[in-house]
Amino acid sequence: MKLVSMKRADDDDMDTISYSAPNYGYGLSICLNEDQCEALGITKALRAGSKVSISGVGIVTSSTESVTREAGESGSDITLTIQLTEMGLQQQGKISNASAILYGDD
């Protein structure tokens, strides 16, 4: 399975907002409760900044396609909603500057 960066592209309209937007879009964060951590074999808290490897299986719960034609471009816009049904997680080490990866170097 190929891993693809989900980092948001710079958006010129974001310059007018007075706060620093996260580099990753809404919904890309996974929150696990106590039972889910236990099921994954996580028996103690991982340190903030720890790097983890995640593999998962999900079910597509919604799929849409719309045809667009803007400024000389034509094509389809695709959206998917996926419900994660199975996942695995393994600690991979510590990232030296996790905050810079998540929020940028600003």
Answer whether residue 14 shows pLDDT above 60.
no
Q: By mean pLDDT, which of 9-23, 24-38, 64-78 is the weakest? A: 9-23
Answer whether residue 39 shows pLDDT above 60.
yes
Can you tell me the distance from the alpha carbon of 49 to that of 13, in angstroms, rounded to the nearest whole number? Answer: 30
Q: pLDDT exceeding 90 applies to what percent of the chain?
A: 0
pTM of the model: 0.55
End-to-end CA distance of the chain: 32
Backbone φ and ψ for 16, nearest 5 degrees, come out as -85, -10
